[in-house]
């Protein structure tokens, strides 16, 4: 019997109706497009809030890779709801959204967990986590015939980041895309958020993941999936792709009009 991870946040973060979901994502993709085309894209940063808040920022990233022929898409997410040591790759057969099922690439999963004490097959971090799930409808609307490797980092410390990036660099090829799922700072005033979030923007645009990691560790800036971004950049570096471009940076106040406590969002492309 197939082991399928059912949608946990349909009807909350995005519409539960497949027709409405398709319509909403298509509208975002039609409206928010980067001005330039990118070749040999190895990774994107995409936010993971409700589509009403961060969907426009995410759409820039997905338009940068739309229609490209990736066979495998690795989604790296933080764990919002449970802490665990190590890195968990979903141990089932597929992830499901209202737009259908997407198979898990079991061969790549096997290679990543082989002889590894840090990366393991599991359900940890996948039960109710939204950060992987909200990326999938965008993928279903922009890609054909792909499988995923859904990865949740239970801990984003340096040791885990380095181990994950080393393993990923060994298994990826030109038909693999990596997605780092992350929002930026949470619940500061717009002005304070902009100060912190501009540091993340600067580090990514300068392809400086060493200092990004340092800034996250010392609290100069914040990103709930900061470790996922560093892991993706480090992997791209090991894979000899060292260009990056920020596509969009916004915050929840741009939608709600409330600037007293905002959540920051950013999308970027590595190529």
Encode pLDDT of 171-206 as tens digits.
Answer: 999 999 999 999 999 999 999 999 999 999 999 999
Q: pLDDT > 90: what percent of the chain?
A: 100
Task: Give the mean model confidence (pLDDT) for residues 31-53.
Answer: 97
Average of per-residue pLDDT values in the chain: 97
pLDDT in tens, 219-269: 999 999 999 999 999 999 999 999 999 999 999 999 999 999 999 999 999
CATH of 4-270, one of 3.40.30.10, 1.10.3720.10, 1.10.1660.10, 3.40.830.10: 3.40.830.10
Beta strands in the chain (DSSP E): 4-5, 43-46, 72-78, 87-90, 94-97, 100-103, 119-122, 147-153, 176-181, 186-188, 244-251, 262-270
Cα–Cα distance for residue pair 52/146, rounded to 1 Å: 26
pLDDT of residue 43: 98
SS3 243: coil
Give the pLDDT score at 118: 97
pTM for the full model? 0.97
Q: How much is the pLDDT for 139?
A: 98
**DSSP conformation class of 133:** G
DSSP state of 37: -
Domain extent listing, the chain: 4-270
The pLDDT score that the predictor gives to residue 232 is 98
Which 3-state string (H, E, C) describes 160-226? HHHHHHHHHHHHCCCCEEEEEECCCCEEECHHHHHHHHHHHHHHHHCCCHHHHHHHHHHCCCCCCCH
């Amino acid at each position: 019997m197939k082991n399928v991870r059912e949608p946990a946040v349909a009807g909350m973060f995005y519409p539960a109706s497949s027709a409405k979901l398709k319509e909403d994502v298509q509208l975002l993709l039609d409206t928010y497009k980067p001005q330039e085309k990118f070749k040999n894209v190895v990774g994107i940063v995409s936010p993971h809030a409700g589509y009403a808040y961060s969907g426009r920022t995410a759409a820039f990233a997905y338009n940068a890779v739309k229609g490209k022929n990736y066979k495998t898409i690795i989604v790296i997410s933080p764990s919002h709801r449970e802490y665990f040591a190590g890195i968990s790759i979903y141990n089932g057969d597929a992830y499901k959204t209202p737009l259908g099922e997407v198979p898990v690439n079991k061969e790549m999963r096997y290679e990543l967990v082989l002889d590894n004490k840090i990366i393991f097959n599991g359900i940890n971090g996948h039960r109710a986590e939204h950060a992987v799930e909200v990326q999938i409808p965008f993928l279903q609307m922009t890609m054909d015939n792909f499988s995923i490797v859904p990865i949740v980092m239970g801990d984003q410390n340096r040791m885990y980041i380095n181990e994950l990036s080393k393993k990923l660099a060994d298994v990826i090829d030109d038909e693999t895309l990596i997605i780092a799922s992350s929002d930026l700072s949470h619940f500061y005033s717009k002005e304070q958020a902009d100060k912190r979030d501009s540091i993340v923007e600067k580090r990514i645009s300068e392809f400086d993941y060493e200092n990004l990691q340092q800034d996250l560790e010392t609290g100069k800036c914040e990103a709930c999936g900061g470790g996922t971004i560093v892991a993706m950049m480090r992997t791209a570096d090991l894979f000899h792709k060292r260009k990056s471009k920020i596509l969009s940076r916004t915050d929840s106040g741009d939608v709600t009009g409330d600037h007293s406590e905002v959540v920051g969002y950013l999308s970027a492309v590595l190529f």
